[in-house]
A and B are shown apart, each in its own frame.
With several copies, the nearest count.
Chain A
């Protein structure tokens, strides 16, 4: 626990109480009674462990009813005592985007401001936080408009060695900016015409998803500058067979579910993205019942590489982001469904925590969090009343 005692504060306070009726407690002992409570330090601020426990999550609270007030809230979702759940928060203005480095002990938020609320010059800032103190390490004014949208898991990403940060831009021309986390300087902003988001690929490549149903891989050199661009041919039709931009990446393979329940597998382990195959999440019978993936952050994985995905019955055009009533768990190697977890309060988004006893965290229809044991689907508790408005994306902690 970090103790930030400031002698200056104490003397200020002492000055303040001259004449207010205070007796220093050390002078007021009484033999028949315990001594009075001592004067306490003023100015103490807590800090967090270097390694967060497995059951902690980072809630991307986009605050859709009040976009000035977005935040990332650090929560222990296994804690049963409400007052002990919230560990801290960071602000995140105007649909700010969040990612983190497990190796560096840093959080990254890119956010936007006007000079005066909704008025005046608008500017974007990348903010680097220390994960133990939640203090700002550095702020970097951004050279262009960062992507401002409902939260995306891959609006930012790190290179494999966690030395480069990729940040999506959109104004509405699409690009991403490479940021060097060692020097803490911007390397380069690279256009991705018609393609968005930053899926980390290989050692130093970035794959984006394109309006023609294909992919674009941008290959970087050692310093993070543009080296080559390669486009992958379209593998889906954005009108008739669209996919969700929420892949689960396991062992370098990205699994993109389609609106209708197909799973496209792309190899992200090399320098350039390569299409591998597709298979179906749904049986013929389930397809007839229009069981489909649905939700905002509708996919995640556990440490063993199992896929968790929100499914909705009676899906149709227009319901794709509305969430679902079940979570299906798949073994991605055998392509077999391992389990169906019924979600009683509806599921809009999900996340799975780390470790051998992972928790399934569901953003439910009331915008509270329902917590389940991921291994057996057992309901554990509902977590609410943590200043949550629209907690649309949950991140694991490290």
Chain B
């Protein structure tokens, strides 16, 4: 699901109010999700027999997080879920739109599945709109304008995740 950049300003105001940092909101995306000083959180995972560990970094509650390149909606990370899991009481959509985002740590491009979490009500905070390579609804596989809760038990959109589902063939 999607909104639009300038809507951020309204939300950003309340963020500014919250953090008493009005006037510093140069980067709306960062401001929106409250990432004043973005902590680098390395996320390491056991790989399948590879000699090194796969790596990524960044703040999954920041709109600038690398996986969110084509996201448009409320970040589940702020809603009781995480960047790849849903808030309690919701369910994850089975069909969705995808983006291709570059992990700045390993330089690889990954296919990211923006599965929506469905049910309850809209989360309503940490609205993040990046829209890179987002397309109108005639390219439904790449469109975040469609309510992708359409295949779920509940058609009510709550928030959006960003899940690594594979490596992209090419940038």
Binding site for B on A (CB under 8 A): 9, 12-13, 16-17, 20-26, 28-29, 31, 33-48, 64-69, 71, 74, 81-84, 86-91, 94-95, 112, 114, 117-119, 122, 129, 132-135, 145, 147-150, 152, 170-172, 174, 195-197, 209-211, 238-239, 242-245, 295-296, 317-323, 346, 348, 364-368, 381-387, 390
List B residues at the A interface (Cβ < 8 Å): 1-7, 9-11, 14-15, 17-19, 33-34, 45, 47-48, 50-56, 61, 69, 75, 77-82, 84-92, 94-95, 98, 100, 103, 105-108, 110-111, 113, 115, 117, 119-126, 129-142, 145-147, 150-151, 154-157, 163-170
- B5, B88, B103, B111: which contacts A21 (Cβ < 8 A)? B111
Identify which of A42, A91, A365 gathers the most chain B CB atoms within 10 Å of its CB: A42
Contact of A386 among B125, B150, B155 (CB under 8 A): B125
Q: Judging by beta carbons under 8 Å apart, are A9 and B94 in contact?
A: yes
Instruction: Judge whether A317 and B133 touch: CB under 8 Å.
Output: yes
Select one of A66, A86, A148 contacting B79, CB under 8 A: A86
Q: A17-B111, A118-B120 are in contact. Are A44 and B131 (CB under 8 A)?
A: no
Inter-chain contacts of A245 with B (CB < 8 A) = 136-138
In the bound assembly, the distance between CA atoms of A100 and B31 in angstroms comes to 36
**Contact: B147 with A390, CB < 8 Å?**
no
Chain B min CB distance to A389 (Å): 9
| B64 → chain A closest CB, angstroms | 13
Contact B136 A34 (CB under 8 A): no
Which of B84, B107, B122, B138 touches A238 (beta carbons < 8 Å)? B138
Given contacts A83-B33, A118-B156, A149-B145, contact A40 B165 (CB under 8 A): yes
Give the distance to chain B from A240, nearest Cβ to Cβ, in Å.
11
Question: A39, B166: Cβ atoms under 8 Å?
Answer: yes
CB-CB < 8 A to B100: which residues of A? 21
| Residue in B2, B14, B120 with the greatest tally of chain A CB atoms within 10 Å | B120
